[in-house]
A and B are shown apart, each in its own frame.
Chain A
Amino acid sequence: MKAAPVFEAGSHRWWIIYDQDEHRVIDSNVYVMESKGQSIILDPGGFEIFPQVFAAMVEVIPPSSLKAAFVSHQDPDIASSLPLWHACNDKMEWYVPKLWEGFIRHYGALNAPLQNISDEGGEVMIGGRRLEFIPAHYLHSSANFHVYDPEAKILFSGDVGAALLPPGHDAWVDRRDNTGRAFEEHIKKAKYFHERWMPSNAAKKNWIERVSQLDIQHLCPQHGAIYSGDNVKRFLDWFDKINVGTAII
């Protein structure tokens, strides 16, 4: 896997770690936000890809800077690496949906410091920057959160925006393309994922209404590629129009 910068303003930085080398498990993106020497890792990934995520991460931040991890929901591709991260750094705080705490501990870190996020959401301060936990319940998990950084204008959107891309894929949906053609090409690879994994049109509409109020420059999904600039609105419009989950049974 490799690390690429998403945002940088002084000591405030975001990276994406992407394009995993292990293809027997679903390809995942991991994000890191650093500010003033402290950092948080978002959806740190599955047990099987931990060595490559860790090796790529230490290209851009020292491991001792990790103060926290965010877990959007309970799936294994999100958090089954928890015991390994905990073995490396047992001071790291884990922000997890309250509903899933007892499930996430099944991954093998009974003593890890888990901080519950209640259904309403919340926030965390990392290196003086405030990150907001935005409720995204039923997108797809019944207790699910995204993370918004109002200064960087980044929304980490978990499985929303996910696409199933081949090995060697780029980290972004082509940002140089103003015509929308690159987006149209990319979104074909996201359609099945959203139709099948997102269970509820009502949850989707509710999320779009709330997220449309935010100033978002980069929408960063946990699979696939980042939507930047005009592609953010293109994605929200596209997501609004499609039927998902129970609506297509």
Chain B
Amino acid sequence: MDIQHIMGVVDASFAARQSIEKALRDIDRRALNAMVLVKRHGNALAGYGVVAQAFRERAAILKTSASHLQESIAPLIEAYMRILQHQRFVQSFQEMLSDSPLHGKACPNLISTQSKWQTTIHEEEATARKILVQLLEAVQTLQEGVEEQEYIVTNGRIEAALAESTGAPLMRVSRDMGEAVRTVAQAIRSYRHQLESLEHESSTRL
């Protein structure tokens, strides 16, 4: 396990999570603004009202999916840190055995204890990998949610063009919605790349 790689991923995932949370808050706010605008214009913007409602509902679903992401990251980091912790034991036994092969002969328990810790680490690596796979699935779900949201934004643009005569600033609202969705999509992509680099490392090691 390359601890500096893990640290890089933890840093990047912290930044990505913050960015996702901020972008989701932004999406929620923009969805609310759109709903208010529709209410103000009554039936004239009924078509856009459907879009704004869908956008808001999707935003709530995205928030829920993001919270599942949050639930999985802490156990993953904890699992990696436990591996780091137990590697210290293996290393100290290794150093003793390397100092003199006689240590192993005089005290066979040194070798068996070292081997026991090695087995523990393998089990912990398998656990970490399982959590990582779950986390990647959660990211996948979130990405699918964002794709749905992008589809709604496209529909919003069409409705905005159709309702241009009402004078409501729907094009601007749609553009803002699109911008917020793009930000979250980018943050998730970057997060996914980080996680995949970890997955790649653990697969090549196994």
Contact = CB atoms under 8 A, between A and B. Distances in A.
Interface of A: 47, 50-52, 54-56, 58-59, 61-64, 83-84, 87-89, 108
Main DSSP-derived SS at the A contact region: helix
Nearest to B18: A62
Contact of A51 (B7, B10, B82, B88): B82
Given A55-B74, A55-B75, A58-B77, A87 B10 contact: no
B88 A84 contact: yes
B7 A88 contact: yes
B36 interface: no
Interface in B64-111: 74-75, 77-79, 81-82, 84-85, 88, 92
Contact of A50 (B15, B75, B85, B92): B85
Given A52-B78, A55-B74, A55-B75, A63 B11 contact: yes
Nearest to B87: A87
B61 interface: no
B151 interface: no
B128 to A, nearest CB: 11
Given A83-B88, A108-B88, A58 B14 contact: yes
Contacts of B74: 55-56, 58-59
Contacts of A108: 88, 92
Given A62-B15, A83-B88, A88-B3, A50 B81 contact: yes
A63 B7 contact: yes
21 contacts: A51-B79, A51-B81, A51-B84, A52-B78, A54-B78, A55-B77, A55-B81, A58-B10, A58-B77, A61-B14, A62-B10, A62-B14, A62-B15, A64-B7, A64-B11, A83-B88, A84-B84, A84-B85, A87-B3, A87-B84, A89-B7
B20 to A, nearest CB: 14
A50 to B, nearest CB: 6
Given A51-B78, A54-B78, A88 B11 contact: no
B184 to A, nearest CB: 20
Given A51-B77, A61-B14, 7 more contacts: A50-B85, A55-B78, A58-B14, A58-B74, A63-B7, A84-B84, A88-B84
Nearest to B74: A55
- Interface core residue of B75, B77, B79, B92 (most chain A CB under 10 Å): B77
A5 to B, nearest CB: 15
B192 to A, nearest CB: 18
B10 A84 contact: no
Nearest to B4: A88
B194 to A, nearest CB: 13
B127 to A, nearest CB: 12
A61 B77 CA distance: 14
Interface string B30-69: 0000000000000000000000000000000000000000
A108 B7 CA distance: 21
A219 to B, nearest CB: 28
Given A83-B88, A84-B88, A108-B88, A54 B11 contact: no
A127 to B, nearest CB: 17
Nearest to A56: B74
Contacts of B85: 47, 50-51, 84
Nearest to A57: B77
B130 to A, nearest CB: 16
A217 B47 CA distance: 55
Contacts of B75: 55
A54 B88 contact: no
A235 to B, nearest CB: 32
